[in-house]
Amino acid sequence: MYGKEIEYVRQYLQKTNGDKSVREAETFRSRIEHTMRVLNFANKIIDSLSFEEQKKLDLDAIRLTCIFHDIGYGVESFKNSHGIEGSQIFREYAKDKFDPKLIEKVSEYIYVHQDKELIYSTSITEELRIVIEADMLDEEGSLGIAWDLLTLGQSKPQGYVEAFNKVQGFSAHILQNNPMKHKYSYDLWARKQRLIKMFLDDFSESLY
């Protein structure tokens, strides 16, 4: 399911040089790989819900938003955000393929998904909340540490203290709170928090 859409996003990002980060130290990151992980997280959140809870959701809207949410990076400019660009790209792709109400909903979700403060709102739809949770879950915890150390390696660090400071300065931000509502997301975020804390505690003890 959604194989055509996934392949479209993959080819679009590759064609527009949007798959890899423009930051020299972060070219190891792939947006299509991120997209697939976000989709996977969303599916796991959905699967963790009861049948009755799932029936209330527009599952197509959730999955299509996850697939297209970062496609706007391929044409991002100083004038527009990737959410704005991505919303327009999806509308062009989706016309004559999906129901107009679904197109409108997915376009809106793509447009606003980058505002992660919405996760604290009580007025957003459950569909959008699942998308934001899935997006936030990626590249945190173990992947966040890997990201920190891979980028640090580009600057040829001189010692372990730099690595400790890098992880403490970036990956440790998730220790501040647990913003997740759905049990799967909440439990996974809490596990990532424990991993980061244990990593930094062990690192600190080893250094000092």
Q: What is the pLDDT of residue 177?
A: 97
155 and 200: one domain?
yes
The residues near 87 (Cβ < 8 Å, ≥ 6 apart) are: 72, 107, 108, 110, 111
Number of domains in the chain: 2
Instruction: Please tell me the pTM assigned to this model.
Output: 0.94
Domain presence at residue 136: no
pLDDT digits (tens, 9 = 90+) for 168-191: 999 999 999 999 999 999 999 999
Q: Report helix, strand or coil for 162.
A: helix
My answer on whether 102 and 26 are in the same domain is: yes
Going by C-alpha positions, the residue among 142, 70, 150, 155 that lies closest to residue 109 is 70
Residue 111: partners with Cβ closer than 8 Å, 6 or more residues away: 83, 84, 86, 87
Cβ atoms of 39 and 8 closer than 8 Å: no
89 and 47 housed in the same domain: yes
pLDDT 10s digits, 113-167: 999 999 999 999 999 999 999 999 999 999 999 999 999 999 999 999 999 999 9
Task: Kindly state whether residues 147 and 118 are assigned to the same domain.
Answer: no
Per-residue pLDDT, 77: 55
State yes or no: pLDDT of 47 exceeds 70: yes
Residue 118: domain span: 3-125
